[in-house]
Amino acid sequence: MLHKKQHFICRQLTKHSKEAYRIAPVTYIKLTPFFSFWLLFVVIFGFKYLFMRKLLLFISFIGLSPLLSAQDTDSLFAVKKDGTWEIKYTAKARETARMLAKRFYVPEGQLEFANDEATMSKLTEGATVYIPVIKDNFFNIKPAPLKMKNIQELYYQVGTRDDIGILSSYSGVTKVEMRNWNELKGNTLKPGTVLFIGWVKMMAKDTTDPATLAAYPAPKKKVVIDTSGKVPVPGGLDTVYNSQTNNGLNVLTEKGTAVFFEKPGKSNIFYAFHNEAARGSVIKVFNPGSGKTIYVKVLGPLPDTKLYANSIIGISSGAKEALGVTDNRTWCELSYAAN
């Protein structure tokens, strides 16, 4: 029996790919001479000779199976999270967070934020990693042929409470476009249905571009790290801040709105997104309303989503109590190294 993703139904040539017939929502078979021969043979003779139909279909299946299994692993599936898509990816041997960030064109800090800290600190084979789908790696309009390098189709499996209007908004298209993409006749979605939801930019596995080789696993090298002068981060961000700012003498200050985001997993460190402070640096956050101060470690720039609109910093929600905040937004004063 075929894999559940591979419904054995030949569909018409779609606008997503002019070079292949779609056999399943996530599987393509190129029109090789071998495949074309068997397809033509089945269509012409299969219905003429009824007693041979089962035999012909069996032979065709034998011929197609290697191609189906070879293509299935290339499919990318997304899940819904915080009003946007994220790719659900299974880590391969020797992959690291940095490799995945480069492969999917996502800032490393944003990738770490989307996942559990323990998972990303030591990525293991088979671990589930959620890849943010952002404006730098997602397209809802098919790129021109010359720009199709490293572009793959992205899919979503419909859940019990999914609505075509919501799914369309996630992809930034209208309901009509979503229906046309998937040849739907109405707005009703059947749970379990696989929908095409757009194109994502991802480095091809067989790339030969030297500039991208760093995004692929290489043989392990034994590296000796000197930790004698390393400042311990857990519970000591104030010490790191003082070191980075020369005890507060070399700082930039900023005032504005802070918003809070959910950070998966448990941690005794507060994290933040900020457009000016360098990744890995520490920001001192003061809440004039409560008189409380915390220190946060910067993951990267503010994501381009509605959550961070009109704010100067995004802080992990675990810091709300430490700052004396109950709302999801608050006024704050920032200090960080002037580098």
pLDDT digits (tens, 9 = 90+) for 174-200: 999 999 999 888 888 888 888 999 999
Residue 314: the pLDDT is: 93
Examine the domain organization and report whether 243 and 307 are in the same domain. yes
Q: Report yes or no on 224 lying in a domain.
A: no
Residues 6+ apart with CB under 8 A from 78: 85, 86, 87, 88, 133, 154, 155, 156, 197
Most trustworthy range by pLDDT among 15-24, 49-58, 151-160: 151-160
Provide the whole-model pTM: 0.49
pLDDT of 41 over the 90 cut:
no
The residue range of the domain holding 194 is 76-207
pLDDT of 282 over the 70 cut:
yes
86 C-beta neighbours (distance < 10 Å), count: 18
Instruction: Residue 294: name the closest of 250, 249, 339, 330 by CA.
Output: 330
Q: What is the mean pLDDT of residues 39-44?
A: 58
Q: What is the mean pLDDT of residues 18-34?
A: 44
pLDDT of 77 over the 70 cut:
yes
Dist CA 301 CA 109 (whole Å): 8
pLDDT of 253 over the 60 cut:
yes
Write out the H or E segment, with its range, that includes residue 334: strand 329-337
Q: Report yes or no on 152 lying in a domain.
A: yes
pLDDT of 151 over the 50 cut:
yes
Residue 147: the pLDDT is: 67
Confidence of residue 92 (pLDDT cuts 50, 70, 90): confident
Examine the domain organization and report whether 88 and 183 are in the same domain. yes
pLDDT of 51 over the 70 cut:
no
Examine the domain organization and report whether 116 and 186 are in the same domain. yes
Contact 260, 311 (CB under 8 A): no
Residue pLDDT, tens place only, 94-131? 888 888 888 899 988 888 888 888 788 788 889 999 99
Residue pLDDT, tens place only, 200-249? 988 865 444 444 555 555 444 444 444 444 434 335 788 889 889 888 88
Instruction: Residue 280: name the closest of 140, 161, 109 by CA.
Output: 109
Examine the domain organization and report whether 64 and 117 are in the same domain. no
Examine the domain organization and report whether 81 and 199 are in the same domain. yes
Q: Report yes or no on 212 lying in a domain.
A: no
Examine the domain organization and report whether 271 and 185 are in the same domain. no
Residue 17: the pLDDT is: 40
Q: Report yes or no on 228 lying in a domain.
A: no
Domain count within the chain: 3
49, 137, 171, 261 from 166: Cα distances, Å: 48, 21, 9, 21
Q: Report yes or no on 225 lying in a domain.
A: no
pLDDT of 170 over the 60 cut:
yes
297 strand-pairing partners: 271, 282
126 phi and psi, to 5 degrees? 95, -10
Residue 37: the pLDDT is: 60
Looking at per-residue pLDDT, the higher value among 3 and 129 belongs to: 129
Confidence of residue 42 (pLDDT cuts 50, 70, 90): low
Please give the mean pLDDT across all residues of the chain.
75
Instruction: Residue 134: name the closest of 182, 84, 95, 91 by CA.
Output: 84
CATH number for 311: 2.40.40.10
